[in-house]
Amino acid sequence: MTALLTISVLVLVAIAIWQMTKIFELSQLHAKKSDRGEVATDEDNKNNGILMFAFLVFIYVLTIFSFWKYGKFILPEAASAHGDTYDTLLLWSFVVIFVTQTITQFLLHYFAYKYRGKEGKKALFYADNDRLEFIWTIIPVIVLAGLILWGLFTWTDIMDVNEEDDPLIVELYAQQYNWTARYGGEDNVLGGANVRMIDINRANVLGLDESDPNATDDVIVKELHLPVGRKVNFKMRAQDVLHSAYMPHFRAQMNCVPGMITEFSFTPTITTAEMRLKPEIIDKVARTNALRAERAAAGETENIDPWEFDFILLCNKICGRSHYNMQMKIIVETQEEYEAWIAEQQTFGQTMAMNE
């Protein structure tokens, strides 16, 4: 595969150079005919004007090709309550962008083709037109005002982290290069914590305040389980450098900053099990596993095991050499499943007691 691609690159470059020398020779002939030196002749204007039009076609084709071939790679349906609003706003912004892109690129390249220079042609001395300029100032103003307002209302909604509707409180703790989650336990209140209280020897890895009664029932885990339909308030902490808790399927992201606690809140709406049954996910898994099987057949040893879809938490702020592999699995499940799972986990108090 690699060899093939490398060769194809080399071939393409060779072709390019060969074409170039040809054009070069041709041009030498022309240069003799019309002595304009290195300044464009009518011939040059014509050729490049036509190429400009061809380039317009290229942009359109590239766009269509990319959507057709790569459109399916775009993140699947949002699995959080605010995610739907997010996706709708995104869709409309894209509509605006694509309409503008299609029209302006057309005008630009079409004019470049249509008005290519010819000896003796007169350009139009056209320096100003207040009406026109007003129109293309006011249209973006109106469209953008709409998008801004819509965006701002959504933003205020999403970023309003409050205690209404009895949210589940979860801490996401980031360090080079892994994630830990902490639940408030029975009382749903996180115990006080600071990196200065970290005691590795006693397995107090998150620096919980051992004298804080709220900390005793906290549950510390390496896999994030969330009950579907219940709001979750995340409190992010980082112990060493900046990290970012990125949960793309939930349209959620917040940086984790040493020295402060940042927050984000969302309500998961689709369980992992339900997600796995969505046609687009089934397709994606099938495509991916086909690739993996191919790799296995080719005798490779890594990344060949079949994959099953899972929500995932990624680190999205450069944090060092293994930044690319800083992840945690997220499992969204029913309330009952969640309760069964959390009941099985050890509390912080129990862990400490074991260490005494």
Partner 1 sequence: MSAHAPALTDDHAHDHGHHHKETFITKYIFSQDHKMISKQYLITGLIMGFIGIAMSLLFRMQLAWPGESFPVFEAVLGKWAPDGVMDADIYLALVTIHGTIMVFFVLTAGLSGTFSNLLIPLQIGARDMASGFLNMISYWLFFISSVVMVISLFVEAGPAAAGWTIYPPLSALPMAQPGSGMGMTLWLVSMTIFIASSLLGSLNYIVTVLNLRTKGMSMTRLPLTIWAFFVTAVIGVISFPVLLSAGLLLLMDRSFGTSFFLSDIFIQGEVLHYQGGSPVLYEHLFWFLGHPEVYIVILPAMGIVSEVMAVGARKPIFGYRAMIASILAIAFLSTIVWGHHMFISGMNPFLGSVFTFTTLLIAIPSGVKAFNWITTLWKGNLQLNAGMLFSIGMVSTFITGGLTGIILGDSTLDINVHDTYFVVAHFHLVMGISALYGLFAGVYHWFPKMFQGRMMNKNLGYVHFWITAVGSYGIFFPMHFVGMAGVPRRYYQNTAFPMFDELVDIQELMTVFALITAAAQLIFVYNFVRSIFYGKRGPQNPWNATTLEWTTPQKHIHGNWPGAIPEVHRWCYDYSKVDENGEYIIPGQDFVPQHIPLQEGEEDYEH
List interacting residues with Cu ion (CB under 5 A): 243, 315, 319, 326
Q: Which distant-in-sequence residues (6+ apart) come within 8 Å of 202 by Cβ? A: 352, 355
- Mark the segment that binds partner 1 (CB under 8 A) among 126-134, 162-170, 210-218, 226-234: 126-134
Taking the least distance from each CB to Cu ion, the nearer of 240 and 280 is: 240
Pairing of strands 232-238, 168-175: parallel
List binders of partner 1 among 151-190 (CB under 8 A). 151-152, 154-156, 158-160, 175-176
DSSP-assigned letter for residue 206: T
Pick the binder of partner 1 from 34, 57, 121, 222 (CB under 8 A). 121
Amino acid found at 285? V
Give the closest residue to 56 by CA, choosing from 136, 110, 122: 110
Nearer to Cu ion, 244 or 267 (CB): 244
Rounded least distance, CB 155 to Cu ion, Å: 17
Out of 303, 335, 350, 355, the residue judged to bind partner 1 by CB under 8 A: 303
Nearest distance in Å: CB 184, partner 1? 21
Question: What is the smallest separation between the CB atom of 201 and partner 1, expressed in angstroms?
Answer: 10
Q: Which of 266, 254, 259 is nearest to 316 (CA)?
A: 254
341 sits near partner 1 (criterion: CB under 8 A):
no
Contact 72, 283 (CB under 8 A): yes
Closest by CA to 228, choosing from 339, 304, 325, 69, is 339
Q: Which amino acid is at 204?
A: N
Of 276, 278, 292, 329, which one interacts with partner 1 (CB under 8 A)? Answer: 292
Site string for partner 1, 98-117 (x = CB under 8 A): --xx--xx-xxx-xx--xxx
| Min CB(314)–Cu ion separation in Å | 9
User: Cβ of 121: how many Cβ atoms within 10 Å?
Assistant: 10
Question: Interface residues for partner 1 in 239-258 (CB under 8 A)?
Answer: 239-242, 244, 246, 248, 251-255, 257-258
Tell me how far apart the alpha carbons of residues 275 and 267 are, in angstroms, rounded to a whole number. 15
d(CA 127, CA 216): 76
**Cα-Cα end-to-end distance for the chain:** 57
Q: Which of 29, 32, 33, 124 binds partner 1 (CB under 8 A)?
A: 124
Mapped onto helix, strand or coil, the DSSP state of residue 315 is strand
**Residue 137: which of Cu ion, partner 1, none does it interact with, CB under 5 to 8 A by kind?**
partner 1
C-beta closer to partner 1: residue 114 or 211: 114
Select the binding partner of residue 8 from partner 1, Cu ion, none (C-beta < 5 to 8 A, by kind): partner 1
Instruction: Give yes or no for residue 302 binding partner 1 (CB under 8 A).
Output: yes
Beta carbon of residue 94, minimum distance to partner 1 (angstroms, whole number) = 8
Contact residues for 351 (Cβ-Cβ < 8 A; gap 6+): 203, 220
Asked whether 226 and 232 are in contact (CB, 8 A), the reply is yes
State how far the Cα of 186 lies from the Cα of 346, in Å rounded to an integer: 12
Among 29, 32, 33, 38, which residue sits at the site for partner 1 (rule: CB under 8 A)? 38
Residue owning tokens 């046609």 = 279
Least distance (Å) between residue 150 CB and Cu ion: 21
61 scored as a contact of partner 1 (CB under 8 A): no
